[in-house]
Amino acid sequence: MAESLRVVVRFANGQILKGTTGDFRTASPRFHLIPADGGSVVEVRMEELKAVCFVRDFAGSPERIKLRGFLGAPLTTAQGKKVAVRFRDNELLCGYTLSFSPDRAGFFMTPADTASNNLRIYVVTAAAAEIKAGPAAEWLAQRALKTK
């Protein structure tokens, strides 16, 4: 049996579900979520998502939400190269990835903020308005932050 992972599922329509999953696979069109509030198991379809956040806990870190951008982080780390994602709702995620390819359905990234409640994030490529990797990621982050 697979290990249950704590996740916060972020839908493209703005809905958020918190719970655990034991069958999340990037190649699968769906996975199952056991809601943190104890409700019935929910089948989650990847095509409806924006991102799946693998989290430390469900309470989160409200004070960390105010920290945006790359926070002076280096261009590359052991977690890969910089990546910035601007979603269609203008939310900005900044972090590092080892596996971004625009041809893939999604990719994993590690947040730039190492104290973030998010351990890693699976981004659904189709939900993004813009994705930039490498030096262009810093440019996208700065541009997105200026327009906020």
35-86 tens-digit pLDDT = 999 889 999 999 999 999 999 998 876 665 555 666 566 666 777 899 999 9
Instruction: Work out the end-to-end distance of the chain between its first and last CA atoms, rounded to an integer number of angstroms.
Output: 44
Q: Which residue has the tokens 């719970």?
A: 19
Percentage of the chain lying above the pLDDT 70 cut: 86
Residue owning tokens 């541009």: 143
Same-domain pairing of 51 and 70: no
Question: Cα separation of 93 and 81, whole Å?
Answer: 14
Task: Indicate if the pLDDT at residue 88 is higher than 90.
Answer: yes
- Residue 24 domain-assigned? yes
Query: Residue 32 contacts by C-beta under 8 Å, 6 or more apart in sequence?
Result: 21, 22, 23, 41, 42, 43, 44
Residue 118 lies in a domain: no
Q: How far is CA 86 from the centre of its chain?
A: 11
- 16 with 89, same domain: the answer is no
CB 2 within 8 A of CB 22: yes
| Confidence (pTM) | 0.89
Quick one: pLDDT at residue 19? 98
Residue-level pLDDT at 123: 98
Number of structural domains the chain divides into: 2
Residue 133 domain flag: yes
Residue-level pLDDT at 74: 60
pLDDT at 92 over 80: yes
Stretch 29-40: mean pLDDT:
95
C-beta atoms surrounding 124 within 10 Å: 22
Residue 135 and residue 79 in one domain = yes
Residue the block writes with tokens 């990621």:
137
Residues β-bridged to residue 118: 55
pLDDT tens figures, 95-144: 999 988 889 999 999 998 888 899 999 999 999 999 999 889 888 888 88
